[in-house]
């Protein structure tokens, strides 16, 4: 069974400080991994996905298969980054596109 | 509409009553998901519809929960004989497998409170 673990329920940093939101997964194959974000009073939305190797709003995430991790990082946090962040996993290929989400990390960036 | 639409946005009901939640996915999206988000918890998968395939109901917590989808359009999630532990935000999402790597587009959710 696939599982996503986000060990930190809450994370608080100061503006300008680096931030890392941890995500670990359990899956025997090569999963597709995503980060979704929910800003206050907004819908849950995709932030980035590992296959794109993209940087969105200064955030990056690297898939580490050895450590089965997909941590989300930003070198200099901004107040507008305050939000709920969810890591998600999906088995590649096949007909089952169900996304499994972690429990989320609430990031607060203080001025 | 431009996005996933859910109704009602808020529902307060008494224990034991039935409730029906509705989701209008983005036009053309073949996949539709229901998730539950209890206070302080993560997203809990409930059910997944993909085209005309049999739905994946593996996340439904009990037989009081059921969902239907007509073709590739509207879906309804029905909770019978509601219990207080059913109180949560119920999120619907849709995606197109045709592109964008199956990105999920979420609705704003239906907040259910069972008294």
Three-class HEC string of chain B? CCCCEEECCEEEECCCCCEEEEEECCCCCCEEEEEEECCCCCEEEEEEEECCCCCECCCCCCCCEEEEECCCCCEEEEECCCCHHHCEEEEEEEECCCCHHHCCEECCCEEEEEC
**Inside any domain, residue B55:** yes
In chain A, the domains with their CATH numbers are 3-110 (2.60.40.10)
**Inside any domain, residue B80:** yes
Q: pLDDT tens digits for A51-90? A: 777 888 999 998 898 899 999 999 999 999 999 999 999 8
Total number of domains constituting chain B:
1
Q: pLDDT tens digits for A89-103? A: 987 765 556 788 999
Residue B103 has a pLDDT of 84
Say which of B42, B50, B106 has its CB closest to residue A97. B50
User: Taking CB atoms and an 8 Å cutoff, what residues of chain A touch B45?
Assistant: 98-101
Tell me the residue range of the domain where B85 lies: 5-100
**Inside any domain, residue B111:** no
List residues of A whose CB lies inside 8 A of any B CB. 6, 32, 36, 43-46, 49, 51-52, 86, 90, 95-104
**Inside any domain, residue B107:** no
Q: pLDDT tens digits for B66-106? A: 999 988 889 999 999 999 999 999 999 998 865 445 789 99
Task: For residue B81, give the CATH number of its domain.
Answer: 2.60.40.10
């Amino acid at each position: 069974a696939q599982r996503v673990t986000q060990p930190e329920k809450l994370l608080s940093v100061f503006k300008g400080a680096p931030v890392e939101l941890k995500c670990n997964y359990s899956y025997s194959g090569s999963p597709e991994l995503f980060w979704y974000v929910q800003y206050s009073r907004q819908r849950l939305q995709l932030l980035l996905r590992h296959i794109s190797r993209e940087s969105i709003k200064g955030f990056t995430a690297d898939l580490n298969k050895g450590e089965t991790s997909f941590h989300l990082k930003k070198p200099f946090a901004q107040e507008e980054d305050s939000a709920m962040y969810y890591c998600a996993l999906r088995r590649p290929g096949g007909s089952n596109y169900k996304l499994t989400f972690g429990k989320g990390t609430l990031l607060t960036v203080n001025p | 509409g431009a996005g996933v639409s859910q109704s009602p946005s808020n529902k307060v009901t008494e224990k034991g009553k039935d409730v029906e939640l509705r989701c209008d996915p983005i036009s053309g999206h073949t996949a539709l998901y229901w998730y539950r988000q209890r206070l302080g918890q993560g997203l809990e998968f409930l059910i997944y519809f993909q085209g005309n395939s049999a739905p994946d109901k593996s996340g439904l917590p009990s037989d009081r929960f059921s969902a239907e989808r007509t073709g590739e359009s509207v879906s309804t999630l029905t909770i019978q004989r509601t219990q207080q532990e059913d109180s949560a935000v119920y999120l619907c999402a849709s995606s197109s497998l045709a592109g964008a790597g199956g990105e999920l587009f979420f609705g704003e959710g239906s907040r259910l409170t069972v008294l």
